[in-house]
Amino acid sequence: TWGRVCRDLEKTIGKNNYVTWIAPLEFHALENGVARFGVPTNFVGEWVKRNFGDRIVEHLVRNGVVVDRLEFAVSGAKASVAAATRPAPQPEARSDVDLPGATLDARFTFETFVTGKPNELAHAAARRVAEGGAVTFNPLFLYGGVGLGKTHLMHAIAWELRERVPEAKVVYLSAEQFMYRFVQALRERDMMGFKSLFRSVDVLMVDDVQFIAGKDSTQEEFFHTFNALVDQGKQIVISADRAPGEIKDLEDRIKSRLQCGLVVDLHPTDYELRLGILQQKVDMYRQQYPGLVISDGVLEFLAHRITTNVRVLEGALTRLFAFASLVGKEITLDLAQDCLADILRASERKVTVEEIQRKVSEHFNMRLADMVGPKRHRTIARPRQIAMWLAKQLTQRSLPEIGRRFGGRDHTTVMHAVKRIEELRATDSQIAEDLEMLRRTLEG
């Protein structure tokens, strides 16, 4: 039922609100008219209660759930980040024109695409295709990890071409939509229609082509469409999450076809690119939230800390602006840290027990092997205890797991070490200093 309620909510509150606020909720239980949800932070819970509470209740009731109150508790879930990284649902296929493409996102243009070292090649290639001149490389194959701008670039090409060459039939769709079209044509026994439709386009762009891997008849049809268009000298643009050769369960003949043109990758973003993207988004938000002030250093902080993907970065900024505009506050570093605690936590660099052992043994000038070895002399045992304490503080490992990584020691040994170091930290300033320093270097 919650799934159904979610879909209804998405329709009434809009996709952006949905992704930012509702998707992170975990439905836990329903008791005595109280619906309980897990939320990533208190902030998300309060916001949802205040802004969407009534509507959630309303939709639950409409779906036959007896409920009159909502309760939110922090569950430590990283769901909001998962939601922020989840690909946006594909827009509906255009019904007004009899082209088989999807609607284009108005925000995804060349004007809004920020370039930097990691994406300049992909950007230049996309620009070239968008000029609409003679086909110089076919296909253009763009690949890279999630949220690095593949879809954005493809939409930008389509927008630009529509403007420059309005008579050209430009079709953009996801590989998934291609498959649905194909299956539908099979079901309706209209393969002729399908073939003539796809073979009549001037520019074909297929997004996330890895989707058709392992789907044999769709691959086959894709291959024929591809060849027919290339033979006619029509431009093709393809994207995928990895290089053609690395897509598993994709036929070899398709792989080699995909490699025939220009293959360019979008590299993971670097600090400057992230900062540039943030600055650009802030300029856009300024129109939506005039008068909102953002303190120096906040964007730098975000660009430094959220390195996973651009979609998460954007999600963080959206939430920050929404919150700041609600409470009418300036966006300060403190506010950002509070409001984005869950996202920041999920983006933290993960420290391993092995790394801790290495750093600590370097720091105390002892052999790494002694970390996990049997020696019990103080000069070795104490650093070992310190490493255990750090492992407890900086990793998600349980006491038994930590013990195992220290040469198979018992969890009570680890517990004792953690306690001992806690005591020393309060009484011995030298140890306190060592701990602080080690913690800082480990957390990078």
Selected binder of ligand ADP within 18, 108, 172, 226 (CB under 6 A): 108
Selected binder of ligand ADP within 277, 294, 402, 418 (CB under 6 A): 277
The least distance separating ligand ADP from the CB of residue 10, rounded to whole angstroms, comes to: 18
Which one, of 129, 21, 11, 127, lies nearest residue 72 by Cα? 21
375 is in an annotated binding site: no
SS3 327: helix
The listed partner (ligand ADP, Mg ion, none) that binds 45, CB under 5 to 8 Å by sort, is none
Are the CB atoms for 170 and 158 separated by under 8 Å?
Answer: yes
The least distance separating ligand ADP from the CB of residue 168, rounded to whole angstroms, comes to: 22
How buried is residue 290: exposed, middle or buried, by Cβ count under 10 Å (0-12/13-18/19+)? exposed
Selected binder of ligand ADP within 146, 243, 292, 372 (CB under 6 A): 146
Task: Please state, in angstroms and rounded to a whole number, the distance separating the CA atoms of residues 23 and 88.
Answer: 12
Task: Please state, in angstroms and rounded to a whole number, the distance separating the CA atoms of residues 16 and 10.
Answer: 9
Taking the least distance from each CB to ligand ADP, the nearer of 251 and 314 is 314
Selected binder of ligand ADP within 314, 338, 355, 401 (CB under 6 A): 314
The listed partner (ligand ADP, Mg ion, none) that binds 18, CB under 5 to 8 Å by sort, is none
Distance of CA 408 to the CA centre of its chain: 37
Q: What is the DSSP string of 66-109?
A: --SEEEEEE----HHHHHHHSPPPPPPBP-SSSS--BPPPTT-S
The least distance separating Mg ion from the CB of residue 139, rounded to whole angstroms, comes to: 17
Q: Does 82 bind ligand ADP (CB under 6 A)?
A: no
Q: Does 121 bind ligand ADP (CB under 6 A)?
A: no
Q: Does 151 bind Mg ion (CB under 5 A)?
A: yes
Q: Does 390 bind ligand ADP (CB under 6 A)?
A: no
Task: Please state, in angstroms and rounded to a whole number, the distance separating the CA atoms of residues 20 and 11.
Answer: 14
359 is in an annotated binding site: no
Taking the least distance from each CB to Mg ion, the nearer of 138 and 151 is 151
Give alpha helix (H) positions in 236-293: 252-258, 271-288
DSSP state of 21: I
What are the tokens at 55? Answer: 């509507």
The least distance separating ligand ADP from the CB of residue 80, rounded to whole angstroms, comes to: 16
The least distance separating ligand ADP from the CB of residue 123, rounded to whole angstroms, comes to: 8
Count CB-CB contacts under 10 A for residue 200. Answer: 13
Q: Does 310 bind ligand ADP (CB under 6 A)?
A: yes
What own/partner pairs with CB < 8 Å and gap ≥ 24 does 317-325 have?
317/278, 317/281, 317/282, 317/285, 318/16, 318/20, 319/20, 319/343, 321/285, 321/288, 321/289, 321/292, 322/20, 322/47, 323/43, 323/47, 324/289, 324/292, 325/289, 325/292
Residue found by looking up tokens 């998962």 in the block: 82
328 is in an annotated binding site: no
Site stretch for Mg ion (CB under 5 A), options 65-73, 143-151, 294-302, 363-371? 143-151
Helix or strand run (H / E) with residue 207: strand 203-207
Task: Please state, in angstroms and rounded to a whole number, the distance separating the CA atoms of residues 246 and 265.
Answer: 13
195 is in an annotated binding site: no
Taking the least distance from each CB to Mg ion, the nearer of 153 and 394 is 153
Are the CB atoms for 426 and 436 separated by under 8 Å?
Answer: no
Q: Does 18 bind ligand ADP (CB under 6 A)?
A: no
Task: Please state, in angstroms and rounded to a whole number, the distance separating the CA atoms of residues 413 and 404.
Answer: 11
The footprint of Mg ion on this chain (CB under 5 A) covers a number of residues equal to 2
Taking the least distance from each CB to ligand ADP, the nearer of 53 and 116 is 116
- For 11, residues 6+ apart whose C-beta sits below 8 A from its C-beta are none
Q: Does 319 bind ligand ADP (CB under 6 A)?
A: no
Q: Does 159 bind ligand ADP (CB under 6 A)?
A: no
Site stretch for ligand ADP (CB under 6 A), options 112-120, 126-134, 162-170, 402-410? 112-120
Site stretch for Mg ion (CB under 5 A), options 106-114, 146-154, 253-261, 420-428? 146-154
**Edge-to-edge strands of the sheet including 140-143?**
170-174, 203-207, 235-240, 140-143, 262-265
The listed partner (ligand ADP, Mg ion, none) that binds 146, CB under 5 to 8 Å by sort, is ligand ADP
Taking the least distance from each CB to ligand ADP, the nearer of 75 and 151 is 151
The least distance separating Mg ion from the CB of residue 127, rounded to whole angstroms, comes to: 19
The least distance separating ligand ADP from the CB of residue 85, rounded to whole angstroms, comes to: 9
Q: Does 150 bind ligand ADP (CB under 6 A)?
A: yes
Residues that bind Mg ion in the complex, under the rule CB under 5 A = 150-151
Residues that bind ligand ADP in the complex, under the rule CB under 6 A = 108, 112-114, 119, 144, 146-152, 277, 310-311, 314
State the binding site for ATP.
147, 149-151
